[in-house]
Amino acid sequence: MNSKTILFIVLSLVFGAIAVFLAQNWLKSNTPTTNSGQTTTVVTLSSLVPMGTIIDRKHLVLTAVPDDIAPKGSVTNFEDAEGKVVNQKLYPGEILRHEKLTTKGEGSTLASLIKHNMRAVTIRVNDVVGVAGFLLPGNRVDVINLYKEGNYKTDIVLSNVKILAIDQRASNDENKPMLVRAVTLELSMEQAELLLIAKGRGSLQLALRNPNDDAQVEVASLDDDNQLQEQLSSTTAIPQEEVIPSSTPLEKVVFVQSNSKAKVLVLKGMNEQEIKVNN
């Protein structure tokens, strides 16, 4: 074996060792390291749980997951979840978090789903106003007011408001059209006042929004547009000439004839005055 052959073998071994070393370093740097000893026990869902459901032990399962997978705010024991109300739809295998739960208050389940400083206001709808039954709890709508002022006019009185319930259903587990008679909206007090004024002025129409559409639209305001209140009061006010002051007594004259006697009674308010008439 000559010297060139030996040199070639040595170089091959050196380059091979370098390639193996580089490959091992690349695999170590690109492979996620998980320590099987560092796990956290979290609560996950065993089945589909619709919005508005009161959590029970049968809905929950304890699952061990790596620390870096468990999200912040995860529920770690059954006691923190049992008896609380789900404020959105949850799916099997999902890790339960505290922000998806609401403390059950006194009264209906719907009351527990209302956000702080908000109110639930219900309006009557039909198949047209209710968007042909395609409204579901959790959808967002704009409210349009149609009224007549010489010609027909429209105002957008509310924008991007949340539907809490349709009829007596607060969950959206059925994704199919359903004709309803009432829709409950989540509104602030100012929005609730504006809605009731608009309802007295004319008819209401709901406009369903795309869930990803957060576009802002100009709406009527109680502070900037007092025309709503003025029109409502003008349609219900009693004309001044038709009001009879209570302080003005009514006067009535009655002629009474009994056998051969005749007399005239003058009724003035609560007082009665008799005037005899000679035959």
pLDDT digits (tens, 9 = 90+) for 102-139: 776 544 566 667 778 888 898 888 877 778 777 888 88
Neighbours of 123 (CB within 10 A): 16
User: What pLDDT, in 10s, does the model give residues 180-226?
Assistant: 888 899 999 989 999 999 888 888 998 888 888 888 887 876 554 45
Q: Are strands 203-208 and 251-258 parallel, antiparallel or unpaired?
A: unpaired
pLDDT value for 66: 87
The 3-state secondary structure of 26-37, one letter per residue:
HHHHHCCCCCCC
Listed ranges 170-174, 176-180, 231-235, 270-274; the one with the highest mean pLDDT: 176-180
d(CA 246, CA 234): 23
User: What pLDDT, in 10s, does the model give residues 244-256?
Assistant: 344 444 455 555 5
pLDDT value for 143: 92
User: What pLDDT, in 10s, does the model give residues 215-227?
Assistant: 888 787 655 445 5
Concatenating the DSSP letter of every residue in 38-68 gives: -EEEEEEESS-B-TTPBP-GGGEEEEEEETT
